[in-house]
Structure 1
Amino acid sequence: MTQISAADAELKKSSAMAGVAGTKTWQVSVQPNAELAAHFLNINPPQGPGEATIAPRPDGRFDVFYLS
């Protein structure tokens, strides 16, 4: 999985959120640390309860699973 910059992550999330309203699918983003993973989830619009989870990877990065 390719790591992307915070700016690219914001653009990707904004583009995904602009899709068809009411139809959400699980997406994944790999973030380099826990702080950036949390930041990603709080990008407007922030994820709500049950819409995201963060899982540590063996290489120290974090998988961020979110609905969009």
Structure 2
Amino acid sequence: MTRISEADAELKKSLALEGDAGVKIWRVSTQPNAELAAHFLNINPPQGAGEASIAPRSDGQFDVFYLS
């Protein structure tokens, strides 16, 4: 799994927000460990309460579900 840069994550989130015109959609990003999963959620714009969930996978990575 390739680590996503902070700039790429910020761009990914901003593009998702621009295209939704106020409608929030659940999205998923797979991160290689829990620390990077938490870091992803705190990149601008940070996720608020109830807007994200992190789930461990059997391969040791983490799925990050977030609203955007």
TM-score when normalising by structure 1: 0.83
1:34 aligns with 2:29: no
User: Does the Cα contact within 8 Å between 2:55 and 2:62 map onto a contact in 1?
Assistant: yes
Write out aligned runs for 1:42-57 (5 A). 42-57=42-57
User: Does the Cα contact within 8 Å between 1:29 and 1:65 map onto a contact in 2?
Assistant: yes
Answer 1 or 2: which has greater helix percent: 2
User: Does the Cα contact within 8 Å between 1:27 and 1:67 map onto a contact in 2?
Assistant: yes
What runs of 5+ residues in structure 2 fail to find an aligned partner?
Answer: none
1:18 aligns with 2:35: no
Alpha-carbon distance in 2 for matches of 1:4, 1:28 = 15
What runs of 5+ residues in structure 1 fail to find an aligned partner?
Answer: none
Alpha-carbon distance in 2 for matches of 1:38, 1:59 = 18
Question: What is the deviation of 1:3?
Answer: 5.2
TM-score when normalising by structure 2: 0.83
What is the one-letter code of the residue matched to 1:53?
S
Alpha-carbon distance in 1 for matches of 2:29, 2:60 = 14
How many residue pairs were aligned? 67
